[in-house]
């Protein structure tokens, strides 16, 4: 049964259903409904909610709960996520799984409280110090935010790594129908957390657990980083997700994610009606980025257009995927401004050419037109004879 829910509250409930029992955070607009919901909901299921004294404290509490093997989540918005970056690097270095939700707002600095997508670099490039990556999931609807939040916990446990759910302020604040009765099925491949420091008695099969990201010996640290890098490559191979629409013969491929992709979808459908060969590729995972999916469109694509609520960040990954083989254009709005359907259609018209029919298609259309005309003439002749006959006999008007 579907229920109308605000995005932030739906994300929180999805986390609870996925087994999250610990939440540590600090309030900041536009994600405040997540901690508010968790403060009421977690005690009902035997969990723990704690509003920390700062974002720095919150992320280190996540480190503690995750290191003990619990499913734990934190959430914030752009400036707050910036403050958590050192802790996120520690979590990645110590291989502690957790879920981090970023409901993005405009920046830089305090910026504003309106939606934006200008945290893309921060999310996909690690954001903190050192060589590390986090898997990044980007929902485009409230239902998808529910599904991806639940998936995030499984990915985090599967790879012992932080996972970020990256939504903009519109995803967090909009209300849409969601199906919360869909049975969540945890991944069957998740191993027991024998690595967790949960107070167990050490045995030969399970020695004392050490949750640590400090390696004094540079050779040991290098081996650790190489193992982490191999893990990130495995994530890239196994967890990449994207959506395609109208790409079969698209000469212009528009790449957009999150809320922006919904505006783009409306624009390309209208442009298709006007005879423009345009399609949409929507990354669902921002890391791993769907590079191969973009390269698979090179057979028909003449150029690409990245649309973002930023000055241009994801466009760099599109350019890396295309590798200079086609032009890559960009259109963005900043400061909390959302691109409109009309604006995107104007951009599409700059680069897309009207659909040109092949000689074979033209000949087929001509033959169909001739056949249709002959049928029309025949029907008209029959109607004319029928009217004359009716007039002569006085049987009708």
Pair 275, 328 in one domain: yes
Pair 87, 181 in one domain: yes
Pair 149, 13 in one domain: yes
* Angle CA 373–376–382, to nearest 5: 145
Cα 164 to Cα 77, 99, 119, 184, distances in angstroms? 12, 6, 12, 19
Pair 108, 67 in one domain: yes
For residue 24, the surrounding DSSP H or E stretch is: strand 22-25
Which pLDDT value is given to residue 384? 77
196 is a domain residue: no
86 is a domain residue: yes
Longest CA pairwise span in the chain (Å): 111
DSSP symbols for 117-137? -TTHHHHHT-SSSSS---EEE
Pair 56, 102 in one domain: yes
207 is a domain residue: no
Give the C-alpha separation, 103 to 99, whole Å: 13
Pair 233, 371 in one domain: no
Pair 38, 152 in one domain: yes
Cβ atoms of residues 159 and 231 within 8 Å: yes
Give the C-alpha separation, 225 to 195, whole Å: 18
Which pLDDT value is given to residue 368? 75
72 is a domain residue: yes
For residue 162, the surrounding DSSP H or E stretch is: strand 162-168
194 is a domain residue: no
Pair 260, 342 in one domain: yes
Give the C-alpha separation, 260 to 308, whole Å: 6
Pair 73, 128 in one domain: yes
Range of the domain at 382: 360-397
Mean pLDDT of the chain: 93
286 is a domain residue: yes
Cβ atoms of residues 196 and 209 within 8 Å: yes
Pair 55, 150 in one domain: yes
Tokens encoding 15: 């986390």
Spell out the residues 6+ positions from residue 25 whose beta carbon is closer than 8 angstroms to its own.
Answer: 34, 35, 38, 51, 52, 55, 58, 74, 75, 76
Which pLDDT value is given to residue 397? 45
Pair 101, 46 in one domain: yes
Cα 109 to Cα 26, 29, 63, 273, 396, distances in angstroms? 17, 14, 26, 42, 82
153 is a domain residue: yes
Cβ atoms of residues 19 and 153 within 8 Å: yes
Closest CA to 174 of 140, 134, 124: 140
**Residues of the chain with confidence (pLDDT) below 50:** 396-397
Q: What is the pTM of this model?
A: 0.88
Which pLDDT value is given to residue 119? 98
CATH number at residue 321: 3.40.50.920
CATH number at residue 77: 3.40.50.970
Pair 367, 346 in one domain: no
Q: How many independent structural domains does the chain possess?
A: 3
198 is a domain residue: no
In terms of Cβ atoms closer than 10 Å to its own Cβ (0-12, 13-18, 19+), residue 85 is middle
Q: Exposed e or buried b for every residue in 316-335, given b needs 16+ CB within 10 A? A: bbbbebbeeebebbbbbbbe
DSSP symbols for 257-286? -HHHHHHHHHHHHHHHHTTB-EEEEEESEE
């Amino acid at each position: 049964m579907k229920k109308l829910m605000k995005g932030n509250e739906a994300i929180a409930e999805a986390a609870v259903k996925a087994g999250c029992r610990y939440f540590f955070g600090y309030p900041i607009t536009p994600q405040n409904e997540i901690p508010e919901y968790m403060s009421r909901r977690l005690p009902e299921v035997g969990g723990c909610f704690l509003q920390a004294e700062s974002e720095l404290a919150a992320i280190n509490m996540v480190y503690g709960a995750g290191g003990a093997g619990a499913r734990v989540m934190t959430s914030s918005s752009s400036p707050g996520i910036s403050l958590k970056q050192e802790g996120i690097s520690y979590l990645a270095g110590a291989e502690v799984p957790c879920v981090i939700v970023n409901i993005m707002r405009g920046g830089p600095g305090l910026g504003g409280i309106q939606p934006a997508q200008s945290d893309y670099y921060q999310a996909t490039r690690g954001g903190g110090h050192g060589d590390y990556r986090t898997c990044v999931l980007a929902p485009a609807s409230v239902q998808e935010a529910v599904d991806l939040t639940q998936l995030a916990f499984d990915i985090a446990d599967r790879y012992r790594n932080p996972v970020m759910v990256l939504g903009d302020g519109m995803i967090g604040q909009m209300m849409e129908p969601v199906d919360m009765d869909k049975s969540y099925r945890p991944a069957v491949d998740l191993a027991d957390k024998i690595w967790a420091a949960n107070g167990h008695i050490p045995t030969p099969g399970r020695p004392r657990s050490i949750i640590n990201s400090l390696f004094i010996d540079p050779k040991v640290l290098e081996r650790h980083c190489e193992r982490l890098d191999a893990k990130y490559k495995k994530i890239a191979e196994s967890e990449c997700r994207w959506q395609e629409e109208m790409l079969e013969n698209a000469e212009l491929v528009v790449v957009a994610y999150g809320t922006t992709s919904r505006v783009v979808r409306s624009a390309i459908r209208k442009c298709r009606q006007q005879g423009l060969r345009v399609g949409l590729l929507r990354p669902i995972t921002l890391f791993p980025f769907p590079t191969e999916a973009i390269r698979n469109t090179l057979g028909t694509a003449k150029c690409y257009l990245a649309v973002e609520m930023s000055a241009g960040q994801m466009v760099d990954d599109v350019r890396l995927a295309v590798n200079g083989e086609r032009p890559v254009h960009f259109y963005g709005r900043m400061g909390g401004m959302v691109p409109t359907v009309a604006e995107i259609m104007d951009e599409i018209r700059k680069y897309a050419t009207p659909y040109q029919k092949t000689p074979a298609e033209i000949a087929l259309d001509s033959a169909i037109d001739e056949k249709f005309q002959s049928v029309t003439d025949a029907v008209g002749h029959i109607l004319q004879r029928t009217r004359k006959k009716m007039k002569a006999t006085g049987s009708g008007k």
